[in-house]
Amino acid sequence: MKPKARLDLRHLVLFAMLGTIQFLSKQLLEFLPNVELVSTLTMVYTLVYRRQALIPVLLFIFMEGVLWGFGIWWVPYLWLWPLLVGLTLLLPRRMPLRLQIPVYAGTCALFGLSYGTLYSPWQAAVFLDWDLKKTLAWIAAGLPWDLTHALGNLALGTLIVPLSLLLRRLESAASPNQNGPSA
């Protein structure tokens, strides 16, 4: 039986910083509808820190609620962003470098394209009385925004490989344990 992973103080502070970077990146790009770095950073953090990426992601979600209010819009964040962590964990760990950029950027783009559809069960429950016809109309009306989200994620997803390489390099330089944080 493997002992429980423990976070040291350095990683707690680091994860707080990473979650804050996600939060600030979203605020800085608010002027561009459905263009965000949160998906890219979520995937970068997951590639480097695996399951521990949930710490900065959940911190980002909490900060969004603090800033904008813990309204009904916020509830889907509790499954949407952790879902991207899970999807990233399912990607092969060892992949040729020439495949990494298209696979990671493509995954990021598909997440952006499906974001509105993944959000829709909550919309159906809260606003549409679980009416399938209204829900499908809601999804169809949001497709242009999902397409914008996908294109933004595709472009910003090309940063996943260089950012994850940089973060791994910084992690190994700062960590006395060359394996990074315990997972």
**Per-residue pLDDT tens digits for 48-107:** 999 999 999 999 999 999 999 999 999 999 999 999 999 999 999 999 999 999 999 999
What's the pTM?
0.91
Q: Does residue 43 have a pLDDT over 90?
A: yes
Amino acid at 118: L
**Per-residue pLDDT tens digits for 119-134:** 998 988 888 788 889 8
Helix axes 54-68, 77-90, angle to 10 degrees: 160
- Phi then psi for 35, rounded to 5 degrees? -115, 120
**Helices within the chain (DSSP H only):** 9-28, 38-49, 54-68, 77-90, 97-126, 132-157, 160-174
The alpha carbon of residue 156 and the mean position of all alpha carbons in its chain are separated, in whole angstroms, by 12
Angle value at C-alpha 155, between 31 and 86, nearest 5 degrees:
95
* Confidence bin at 4 (pLDDT 50/70/90): low
